[in-house]
Every structure is written in C-alpha cells, then in structure tokens.
Chains A and B, each alone.
Chain A
Amino acid sequence: AQSVTQPDIHITVSEGASLELRCNYSYGATPYLFWYVQSPGQGLQLLLKYFSGDTLVQGIKGFEAEFKRSQSSFNLRKPSVHWSDAAEYFCAVGGTDKLIFGTGTRLQVFP
C-alpha cells in the first residue's frame, strides 16, 4: 500500500539554525516525491519535487531534499531557517494517478 510517514509532528528551531524534516514512504514503484508548505489559513504551496535524475533537488525559499532509495526517505533540509519559514510542511508521494500526503510537520521558529 502507498503511504507517507512524517515521524515528527512538531519541530522547534531557533532562527539561523539548520533544519531537517523527515519523510519516509512506501510505494510499489519508483515514486514521484514532493514537499509542500502550508502557511496558516492558506492552501498548500509546492516547495520542490523529485521525479528522476539527481537525487538532491533544490526548491524555492532555499530548501532542498534528498531522495534515498535504500532508506525510502525524502528528507527536507534548509541550512539556515528564517522566522518566515514557520509553517506546516507536508511530504507527498505519487505515481501517475494521485498524490498521497503525510500528516505534516509543524515548524516553529524562535528568534
């Protein structure tokens, strides 16, 4: 069965610190992988996606993610977090039909 697991419900970091949000997936074939961000009261916005090729993908707002097939993971990283990055982050997996979303990780940033 297709599934996405985001083991961290809530993460708190200080502004300027590095960030890594974890995502593990279960999928029967080579997956398409995504990270979306949701600000309060808003819909989701695509940060980055992996379809094939280079396993390290760059996204908007300085985010990057690395696909590791052996670990079934697609963790999101940012070297230095800004206060405006506080939001909820969703990992998603899909093929040619539909996306399955994880339950999200809420990021809180302290000054």
Chain B
Amino acid sequence: DAGVIQSPRHEVTEMGQEVTLRCKPISGHNSLFWYRQTMMRGLELLIYFNNNVPIDDSGMPEDRFSAKMPNASFSTLKIQPSEPRDSAVYFCASSLETGGLKLFFGSGTQLSVL
C-alpha cells in the first residue's frame, strides 16, 4: 500500500496567490482529515470528511480556506488569497473508521507564503 500521498511536498508562493494542496487517501479508507502544523499552535484540525461529505469544518480559519473531496480517492485544500501567516506544514490523514480513531498521515506539504 502506498500510504497517504500528498502533493506537492514543498510550495513557495507569493502573498495573494492561490495555493492548492492535494491528497490521495489510502484506498478503502472512508474518512479524510486536513491538519495544519505550526510551531505556535501545534497540530490543528482544519476539516474532515466522511464518505466524501464534509462533517466538521469548524477548524477552517477563514473564508480564504476551502476544501473539497470530489471522490473517495482525492481531496484538495485551497487557500485563496494566500497570506504569510498561512505558512505551515499541512497534513492530510485518512482512516478506516468514522472519526479517525486510527489515522494514517501523509508526509505533509511545507507551505511558505512570502
């Protein structure tokens, strides 16, 4: 099994640009989670999906952030427009169980907004 696959591994962009992060969960997993990791705030849950449906997006910081899961094998997290304070590592994780009682993490996307 290839595990959770995230792309790109690194993204450097300028303030105001649109950023799209991609995630392919483990085949057969029905829950998908987006986390953001920073030194100041640690690991924060942004949003999670169950069976492709967004269940809880209360962690999405503001309207500039949006996430989609058009099918069971693909999800995107978009930031538009990006700001320097969005710089962080963004992790995608998937799980077989609803609620993510055992999460499998991708290697993350390191985002730098200049």
Contacts and interface: CB of A to CB of B under 8 A. Distances in A.
A94 B91 contact: no
Q: Size band of the B side of the interface?
A: 20 to 34
Given A101-B43, A104-B43, A32 B101 contact: yes
A97 B33 CA distance: 11
A98 B99 contact: yes
A98 B33 CA distance: 9
B56 A98 contact: yes
Contacts, number: 58
Query: Which range contains the number of A residues in contact with the other chain?
Result: 20 to 34
A85 B98 CA distance: 30
A43 B42 contact: no
Interface of B: 4, 33, 35, 41-43, 45, 48, 55-56, 91, 93, 98-103, 105-108
Interface of A: 32, 36, 41-46, 49, 51, 90, 94-104
